[in-house]
Structure 1
Amino acid sequence: MPFLVRAQGVPACPGADNDFMGIFARKKYTAAVVGLGRIGFSLGMDAKREQPASHTMALMANRSIEIIAGADCDVHRADEWKSFMESKRRAPAVFYSTKELYGSVHPDIVVVAVNEASHLGECLDAIQSRPSLVILEKPVALDTAEAMKIRAAASEFSVPVMVNHERRFSADYIAARDFLPRIGEIQRVRAELDSGLRVYAPQFEKDGSYSLIHDGTHLVDIVRFLLGVELSSPRVTGIFRDKDGIVRNFTAHYATSRIPDIEISMSGRSKFFSFGIDILGTLGRICIGNGYAKFYERRESRLYTGFYSLSNAKIRVPKKTGYFSNMVQNAVDFLSARAPLVSPLDEAIADLRVLEEIKAQLK
């Protein structure tokens, strides 16, 4: 479902002259944040995370955006957000329901940063308020049936939806994508996510509190983004269930005409959190994940005459990934008719379909 740019009051204008586009690009966009919890606000206070690490902080950091409102049904969270904004000499309106918000203000951008169970209702309400763009937290919804309702509403009201699959915007993963041609033909891919959160059980589908959908959406999305492949018809092995019948481990195997061996593995019984991808090519290798990015390419071996080995590639790996700020900048560039959405709704729905095919074999 492709969208043309529709900034408020200004039609999309491909082919416009540079003077007009310069004026258009300097527009100040207004934004509202729906959901003032962790990803909406408080992760911006985490001293260990690369900042900005929340929607509030990333929007504030962008000079082309002014936050004019925030909403949360939790009065304490809303009031805490208001106090913080006032401490930064900002004075956005604060609401305890989105009905009040949409009845009072009309932002260009609405960020929907609520829990998974509320995505459908809150995203539909946001779309129906007719902003120029909705930024929706991942995953799109609890299942594809809900996701298709969001898609239908987005089409009906001509409101583009961006889904925050943050690694698409991260400088280290972009570097990995750019490096892929240097590793030759891809022989195999191993993508793995390890945590202590249960992988799947039917009783958790009602609120999405299982890692297959909560974190797995990131894993599937970045595999599809990096490799440019569609994943379907998995062979799921290594299924481990705990004493309560909850799935704690699995591996999904895929093969495409271009890449014969792709594995996506998840663990829900690890005493740590880990996210990473290992891509082996005929001429090199990429190993990238949370906190590391390593690039290797074939060179004449220093150890054996007549052989080649893998050595560290000469590539500048950025220390700061800009994952959140780059996402917000893409929103601004899209509204200013300078770039397409990097993480559009249809891509996120495709991720959800992949996860549902895996889930069908875990039931």
Structure 2
Amino acid sequence: MSKIKTRGRVKKYRAAIIGAGRIGSGFDNSRTAAVATHAHAFKNNPRVELVGFFDIQPEKARAAAKKWSVLAYKNLNDLLADKPDLISICTPDADHYPTLLKVLSSKPRLIICEKPLTANIRQARLVAEKIVKMNIPILVNYSRRFDSTIQKCRLDIKKKKYGKVISAVGVYNKGLLHTGSHLIDFARYLFGDVLDCQALNAIFDYHRNDPSVGGWLKLEDCPSLNLVVGDSRYYEIFEMDILLEKARLRFTNFGSVLAVQKIAKDKSYPEFSVLGRPKETAVKLNRAAVGLAGNAVNFLDKKVDLLCAGQDALKTQIVCGDLLKGLKNK
């Protein structure tokens, strides 16, 4: 379905959602300022028509359908038979792989999948091979790629506005795949591909098959990034601290604030350079889904590339797999 005007109106892309839980439907509603779900992102975009939900728990699909004034499909085959242009996969991590295989067989225009791509690297490689062979694009929701403040920060780093990156520290918890993959993809987005990695320790604070792994990464534009892990049984955390030649960049408050400190002269000892007062900018992660839907529409209009294609997600998952493998070898 292309951008065709019908009776003076631009034709919309039809979208359906598999999984009517929190990220699919539950985190917000049509009246909230935050756009934190796939449903709200689609409803918010004038080029998308949300047509319905499917969930293995029918009552969830019916509740989401009522909430967003759309259909509740009785089964996945009914959803696929309706031939939506866009299909969002918002199921639990372990269900991504079988759901992706089923959806790929229907050959939609675009699949949007929550992170991680699959629950393990073997499945991720198989999916990546299939999408290349079948020529079906997948957009993976590593949400920080869709925020304008982070996009500008990335350009500043690439253009060396603050000089070269000296080192960085990333702090997270609640599982390497579940949350750590967000941090690794964030680092890859800012600094380029991972050239080397090493696992150092682990905390089993989320799932027995998904520990939070501490370690070290070397990336194209960051010679040293230390991964520090906390314990989500006490509180959740997600931060990035970047030291450059001319400034310090800190993503704090679960990555919702960017604080920039530029070099200044020490008032008491002017021969020394120190960091000045931080200038803070909001990172609107609670509206990143707007960018997700916008990127999907612009891609289907053949205007832009996907900000996080299946191969991007696979690279992130390979790093996670290497860290887990390194942990087992310790």
TM-score range, shorter chain: 0.7 to 0.9
Give the structure 1 partner of residue 161 of structure 2. 182
For residues 221 and 68 of structure 2, what CA distance do their matches in structure 1 show? 50
Give the structure 1 partner of residue 146 of structure 2. 169
**Residues 333 and 339 of structure 1 are in contact (CA less than 8 Å); yes or no, is this contact kept in structure 2?**
yes
Within the candidate set 5, 9, 24, 1:40 is matched to 24
For residues 210 and 124 of structure 2, what CA distance do their matches in structure 1 show? 24
Within the candidate set 115, 128, 142, 2:105 is matched to 128
**Residues 38 and 88 of structure 2 are in contact (CA less than 8 Å); yes or no, is this contact kept in structure 1?**
yes
Within the candidate set 206, 229, 238, 1:275 is matched to 238
Give the structure 2 partner of residue 100 of structure 1. 78
Alignment of 1:90-239 (within 5 A): 92-103=70-81, 105-180=82-157, 181-194=160-173, 197=174, 211-232=175-196, 234-239=197-202
For residues 319 and 265 of structure 1, what CA distance do their matches in structure 2 show? 22
Mark the CA change 1:320 to 1:353 in structure 2 (over 3 Å): closer, same or farther.
Answer: closer
Give the structure 2 partner of residue 330 of structure 1. 295
- Residue type of the alignment partner of 1:165: Y
Structure 2 portions without partners, runs of 5+? none
Give the structure 1 partner of residue 51 of structure 2. 68
| Secondary structure of residue in 2 paired with 1:254 | strand
TM superposition shift of 1:240: 5.4
Is it true that 1:53 corresponds to 2:36 in the alignment? yes
Give the structure 1 partner of residue 247 of structure 2. 284
TM superposition shift of 1:152: 2.5
For residues 150 and 80 of structure 2, what CA distance do their matches in structure 1 show? 36
For residues 268 and 349 of structure 1, what CA distance do their matches in structure 2 show? 26
**Residues 242 and 250 of structure 2 are in contact (CA less than 8 Å); yes or no, is this contact kept in structure 1?**
yes
TM superposition shift of 1:259: 3.1
TM superposition shift of 1:319: 6.1
Question: Kindly, what percent of the aligned residue pairs are identical?
Answer: 22
For residues 147 and 274 of structure 2, what CA distance do their matches in structure 1 show? 29
Within the candidate set 345, 349, 355, 2:314 is matched to 349
For residues 269 and 228 of structure 1, what CA distance do their matches in structure 2 show? 28
**Residues 169 and 324 of structure 1 are in contact (CA less than 8 Å); yes or no, is this contact kept in structure 2?**
yes
**Higher percent of residues as strand:** 2
For residues 246 and 117 of structure 1, what CA distance do their matches in structure 2 show? 11
Deviation digits for residues 248-296 of structure 1 (CA, Å, limit 9, x no counterpart)? 6642113357533211122235511110100001111100132321011
Mark the CA change 1:172 to 1:9 in structure 2 (over 3 Å): closer, same or farther.
Answer: closer
- Residue type of the alignment partner of 1:264: L
Mark the CA change 1:259 to 1:156 in structure 2 (over 3 Å): closer, same or farther.
Answer: closer
| Secondary structure of residue in 1 paired with 2:135 | coil
- Residue type of the alignment partner of 1:73: I
For residues 240 and 309 of structure 1, what CA distance do their matches in structure 2 show? 35
For residues 283 and 203 of structure 2, what CA distance do their matches in structure 1 show? 37
Is it true that 1:254 corresponds to 2:254 in the alignment? no
Mark the CA change 1:54 to 1:256 in structure 2 (over 3 Å): closer, same or farther.
Answer: closer
Give the structure 1 partner of residue 63 of structure 2. 80
Mark the CA change 1:241 to 1:36 in structure 2 (over 3 Å): closer, same or farther.
Answer: closer
| Secondary structure of residue in 2 paired with 1:223 | helix
| Secondary structure of residue in 2 paired with 1:317 | strand
For residues 309 and 220 of structure 2, what CA distance do their matches in structure 1 show? 26
For residues 67 and 110 of structure 1, what CA distance do their matches in structure 2 show? 10
Taking only aligned residues, the RMSD between alpha carbons, in angstroms, comes to 2.9
TM superposition shift of 1:212: 1.3
Greater Cα offset, 214-223 or 283-292? 283-292
TM superposition shift of 1:300: 3.3
For residues 209 and 103 of structure 2, what CA distance do their matches in structure 1 show? 35
**Residues 31 and 67 of structure 1 are in contact (CA less than 8 Å); yes or no, is this contact kept in structure 2?**
yes
Mark the CA change 1:93 to 1:342 in structure 2 (over 3 Å): closer, same or farther.
Answer: same
Mark the CA change 1:170 to 1:191 in structure 2 (over 3 Å): closer, same or farther.
Answer: same
- Residue type of the alignment partner of 2:45: N
For residues 256 and 66 of structure 1, what CA distance do their matches in structure 2 show? 40
- Residue type of the alignment partner of 2:262: E
TM superposition shift of 1:297: 1.4
For residues 82 and 305 of structure 1, what CA distance do their matches in structure 2 show? 64
- Residue type of the alignment partner of 2:102: D
Structure 1 portions without partners, runs of 5+? 1-7, 11-19, 87-91, 198-210
